[in-house]
Amino acid sequence: MRQGRHFLQIPGPSPVPDRILRAMDMPVIDHRSTQFAELGRAVLEGSQRIFQTSGPVVIFPSSGTGAWEAAIVNTLSPGDKVLMAETGHFATLWRQMAGRFGIEVDFIPGDWRRGAEPAQIEARLAGDAAHAIKAVMVVHNETSTGATSRIADIRAAIDRTGHPALLMVDTISSLGSVDYRHDEWKVDVSVSCSQKGFMLPPGLGFNAISEKARAAARTNRMPRSYFDWEEMLKPNAKGFFPYTPATNLLYGLREAIAMLLEEGLDNVFARHQRLAAATRAAVNHWGLEVLCQEPQEYSPVLTAVLMPPGHDADQFRQVVLDNYNMSLGAGLSKVAGKVFRIGHLGECNELTLLGALTGVEMGLSVAGVPHRSGGVDAAMKYLEQRPQDNSPAHLKVVGS
């Protein structure tokens, strides 16, 4: 018997707050009723505020993988060429999906320890005089590695070349946790889902789309039905969906949007940055290594930690689960067994984080992993030196 609260410290699905659970605890209503139309309009308009866009946001009953597929089938045709960067496991999966649809992928190789490099993207586009590349596809926050790509810099790199390629960004683990600006960064398709920064159960996929992307959808040759944007947008105009929506998840989405906006997006982003920095303070004190090697790309959502040679990350995670009822994220594909991932996203606060770091430190001792004790104290000191107000202005005053 495991007593007490289970600590779900994986980088998504994130724990669902009680407030959202209560919001979803509602009878299913007629999805053709005026009552539902009010809910539909609320979540569609609210999602625009989270993506920071004035353009349409399409919500599918799907996983984030479904939202990936929607981005592809609405904009590209078989035989098209796209440019992608190997930032980790999820960038690799998106590449594989594109290949299944007959898309030719120019995959910039990476070492899984940093985000996409804007200069490399610029060089590839500058060399594409025939404009064969139809889209640049980037994972904003690579959940497998804890590296966040600099989308604003990538947008600037694309603009310097004058290349007409679409910019498509996976925000699955960043939206609602990391600063993201669909309109300002001129993103054409932003892909996301419900179980990360939105703090919901899995089941909703999102596409925020530009007019340029909609224009591409009118001329591309990829078959689609369930994921057709225009079929969604027609009834969306009045708050409805073309097929049965995930009604109770939409109740939760309305509450999640309210929670994010009540805190203020800038404050949400600053809180995540602060908790991530405290986590790195603990990891560095333990004498362990953060997987991401580029400080300006450290993820606010999770920290991936390399295990010392001769120690298996999955065995360590099992020790933590068995002894302290806490789940840590596994290493995926190339880094399987080599890293564990500490999630600090969603409703996470100081005490939640310190409890998680305490479990990690005790687990390191029980598992016999070489480390220097006192990492939790280092995280506490970092948090004590920063004001409780998570506003960006306050964080700038005291430093990072």
User: How far, in Å, CA of 205 to CA of 275, rounded?
Assistant: 27
Q: Is 185 in the same domain as 300?
A: no
* Alpha helices by DSSP H, the chain: 18-24, 34-51, 64-75, 89-100, 118-126, 151-161, 211-219, 229-236, 247-263, 265-286, 313-324, 350-366, 375-384, 392-398
Sign of the Cα pseudo-torsion (306, 326, 194, 196, in order) = negative
Sequence-distant (≥ 6) Cβ neighbours of residue 208 within 8 angstroms = 47, 48, 51, 53, 55, 56, 57, 58, 182, 187, 189, 190, 192
Q: Is 45 in the same domain as 178?
A: yes
Q: What is the separation, in whole angstroms, between the first and last Cα of the chain?
A: 41
Q: Give the number of domains in the chain.
A: 2
CATH code of 165's domain = 3.40.640.10
Q: Is 243 in the same domain as 282?
A: no
Q: Is 213 in the same domain as 286?
A: no
Q: Is 229 in the same domain as 131?
A: yes
What does the pLDDT read at residue 3? 83
In a domain, 2, yes or no: no
Sequence-distant (≥ 6) Cβ neighbours of residue 173 within 8 angstroms = 11, 12, 140, 141, 143, 196, 197, 301, 302, 345
Cβ distance 109 to 160 under 8 Å?
Answer: no
Q: Is 299 in the same domain as 224?
A: no
In a domain, 1, yes or no: no
Of 261, 286, 315, which residue is a domain's last?
Answer: 261
pLDDT tens digits in sequence order for the chain, 400 residues long: 788 999 999 999 999 999 999 999 999 999 999 999 999 999 999 999 999 999 999 999 999 999 999 999 999 999 999 999 999 999 999 999 999 999 999 999 999 999 999 999 999 999 999 999 999 999 999 999 999 999 999 999 999 999 999 999 999 999 999 999 999 999 999 999 999 999 999 999 999 999 999 999 999 999 999 999 999 999 999 999 999 999 999 999 999 999 999 999 999 999 999 999 999 999 999 999 999 999 999 999 999 999 999 999 999 999 999 999 999 999 999 999 999 999 999 999 999 999 999 999 999 999 999 999 999 999 999 999 976 666 555 544 333 3
The pTM (predicted TM-score) of the whole model is: 0.95
What does the pLDDT read at residue 389? 62
User: How far, in Å, CA of 226 to CA of 232, rounded?
Assistant: 9
In a domain, 22, yes or no: yes
Of 216, 231, 261, which residue is a domain's last?
Answer: 261
Residues of the domain holding 244? 18-261
Which of 151, 194, 98, 144 minimizes the C-alpha distance to 336? 144
> DSSP 3-state assignment of 161?
helix
- Beta strands 166-170 and 189-193: pairing type? parallel
In a domain, 36, yes or no: yes
Q: Is 273 in the same domain as 250?
A: no
Q: Is 124 in the same domain as 151?
A: yes
Q: Is 65 in the same domain as 147?
A: yes
What does the pLDDT read at residue 387? 67
Which residue do the tokens 């946790």 mark? 177
Binding residues: 341
Percent helix, strand and coil across the chain, each rounded to 5?
Answer: 45, 15, 40
Give me 227's structure tokens: 């994921």
In a domain, 99, yes or no: yes
In a domain, 55, yes or no: yes
Q: Is 173 in the same domain as 41?
A: yes
In a domain, 250, yes or no: yes
In a domain, 35, yes or no: yes
User: How far, in Å, CA of 340 to CA of 337, rounded?
Assistant: 8
CATH code of 342's domain = 3.90.1150.10
Q: Is 209 in the same domain as 281?
A: no
* Alpha helices by DSSP H, 287-339: 313-324
Binding residues for substrate: 341
What does the pLDDT read at residue 266? 97
User: How far, in Å, CA of 162 to CA of 217, rounded?
Assistant: 21
Cβ distance 257 to 48 under 8 Å?
Answer: no
Q: Is 345 in the same domain as 205?
A: no
Of 261, 294, 326, which residue is a domain's last?
Answer: 261
